[in-house]
Amino acid sequence: MPIDWSPFVDLVSTRRKFLLTTHVRPDPDGLGSQLGLADALDRMGKDVRLVISSNRPPRYDFLDPEKRIRRFELPGDEYKDAEAIIILDTGTWNQLGDFGNFFKAANVPKVVIDHHLSQDDLGATRLLDTNAEATGRLVCEAIAALGQPLSPRAANALFAALATDTGWFRHANTTAATFALAEKLMQAGANPTFLYDMIYEQNTLPRLKLLGLVLFRLSVVENGKVAMSEVRKADYASTGAIPQDTEDMVNYTRSVAGVEVGLFFLEQPAGGIKVSFRARQQVDVAKVAEKFGGGGHKLAAGATIQGTLDEVKVRVLAAIQEAMSRP
């Protein structure tokens, strides 16, 4: 069902200072959605600030050459004059990091713009479309509802959001409407060739060394239906890589022929194990991730689980086995 953007339009018309954020470990959909919406609000004369509660992956610095997106740190006093807060590309507390506590305490209108199935009650107006292939699409709709044109800068950011959340138009969430939106963004100034090169063909040597370890550890279980690999804390020192370099490596697990579910275990420097799930069609990995306090989409989800690497692997594999046994 299409989103009714009138409450959002009314909010924008009555507020001047906006604070925009997205999930921790942001991807191009989260970052691009922030930057695209901020561009439209800027042109309406609004005061817009952008934050995230984790380090931004350096590979996406090109999306924000002006470095508008800042690392949020508590208590966040410099943002307490915000008149409205907009969260993009997530609707769960565990994806907000330290910003979650600030968000709870803020006594201002709050909005969530998202396309994920997993949602918590954040006490915000929820503008949700789980059929949308990317939050970037919803931001395009919001900008249109505000009566604003797409600038080349916004179009580029939103094309990055759309293209990456569809696996560069390969995933099952890609539709004819996806290509129509891509055409619209190109007409507005998006440069797909530049974006693809910057996102996928500018790997650092440490990232490639880390990928080598991930591929070396790749294994299959459950008669070849489940593939998994891992990154350990010590790997960063041995390769020179950083945690953000692990992004997208989960996709190699699902690429093994015959695999139904891919699992990627990431030992967190601060403790706990981040687990990324990928699936084809047999298993709804969002439901599995929700058992561990995470969530996402049917075919792509994640969770952060407390415990040792070996303990978490046993628990997650048991949950996957249970899900695969269901008719």
Full set of structural domains in the chain with CATH: 6-200 (3.90.1640.10), 205-325 (3.10.310.30)
Q: What is the pLDDT of residue 90?
A: 96
Are 217 and 230 in contact by the 8 Å Cβ rule? The answer is yes
Task: Tell me the pTM.
Answer: 0.87
CA distances to 37, 89, 230 from 72, rounded to whole Å, are 19, 17, 29
In the beta sheet, which residues pair with residue 230?
Answer: 265
In the beta sheet, which residues pair with residue 221?
Answer: 226
Residue 306, C-beta contacts closer than 8 angstroms, at least 6 positions apart: 271, 272, 273
Give the integer Cα–Cα distance in Å for 139 and 20.
12
Mean pLDDT by 10 residues, the chain (327 residues): 93 98 95 98 98 91 95 96 98 94 97 94 96 97 98 98 96 95 98 97 95 97 96 96 92 95 93 94 90 89 94 96 86
Pairing of strands 84-88, 110-114: parallel
In the beta sheet, which residues pair with residue 110?
Answer: 85
